[in-house]
Amino acid sequence: MKITVLTIFPEMYEGFLHTSIISRIIDRGLAQIKIVNIRDYSLDKHHHVDDTPYGGGAGMLMKVDVLHRALLDNISNDYTYTVLTSPKARPLKQDDLIRFSKMDELVIVCGHYEGIDHRFERYVDEKVSIGDYVLTGGELPSMVLIDGILRLLDEGISADSLKEESFNEGLLEYPQYTRPVEYNGDRVPDVLQNGNHKEIRRYNLKMALKETLLNRPDLLDNHEYTQEERELLGEIVSELP
């Protein structure tokens, strides 16, 4: 997969692309990441990429012509999918990352300053928000996208790691523990130490349901319960204080 990022701060990606799992995925050739400086597409001699908004208002806006030139120059075929980072969109979900991870080529555009000239929006396929809050630029959101997408690529990380994590099967992940078995009087549940895989699976499913019920009950609104999940939910509710 190839991901191109259009940004006015290419230097922000140095550490990110050369660290840990992301760096290993890139080194193994599973993904190619290209960082493009939007300033290279400004035609004025000072490489301006922004200007004042019509009608007044605080701050500067990124110019539509510069952004459009940068975008056109980095679309390599009809299948290149383009996204604009923006708080003015539905917040990103794991399903969106799964969808993006199946694409051959993605271009991510990072806004900055007060935002972008609205006319640029018509040139992208989709706007992506990483949550209902406002950041100074689209660079961190683009890194969130790249990180979330790359770990889903085939052979990116172990398939087992992806299988039981949060949002798969519509539930949050169950709580997990490592050594020591007791810390400050808090013990790892006995069932996880007894080696009985059937009991461990049922316990983890129950804890995933409980975690979801307590922290993100909205996820359960459209959840399609199995018979076992219904029984476990009954147990959880009866055990609640």
Interface residue list for ligand SAM (CB under 6 A):
85-88, 110-112, 114-116, 129-131, 133-138, 141
Q: Rounded to whole angstroms, how far apart are CA atoms 181 and 203? A: 18
Q: Tell me whether residue 50 or residue 229 sits nearer to ligand SAM (CB atom).
A: 50
Measured from each CB, the residue nearest to ligand SAM is 111
How far is CA 95 from each of CA 67, 79, 223, rounded to the nearest angstrom? 28, 20, 15
Q: Which two tokens stand for residue 59?
A: 């701050």
Q: What is the greatest pairwise CA distance in the chain? A: 71
* Shortest distance (Å) from residue 113 CB to ligand SAM: 6
Q: Based on CB atoms, which residue is closest to ligand SAM, 124 or 207?
A: 124
Q: Pick the closer one to ligand SAM by CB: 55 or 217.
A: 55
The distance of closest approach from Cβ of residue 228 to ligand SAM in the complex, given in angstroms and rounded to an integer, is 38
Supply the minimum distance, in Å, between the C-beta of residue 31 and ligand SAM. 21
φ, ψ at 206 (rounded to 5°):
-60, -45
Residue in 43, 51, 47, 36 with CA at minimum distance from that of residue 82:
36
Query: What's the CA gap between 231 and 143, in Å, rounded?
Result: 40
Helix (H, G, I), strand (E, B) or coil at 34: strand
Q: Which is nearer to ligand SAM, 79 or 133 (CB)?
A: 133
C-beta of 74 vs 204, nearer to ligand SAM: 74
- Smallest separation (angstroms) from ligand SAM to the CB of 87: 4
Least distance to ligand SAM from the beta carbon of 10, Å?
15
3-class secondary structure, 31: coil
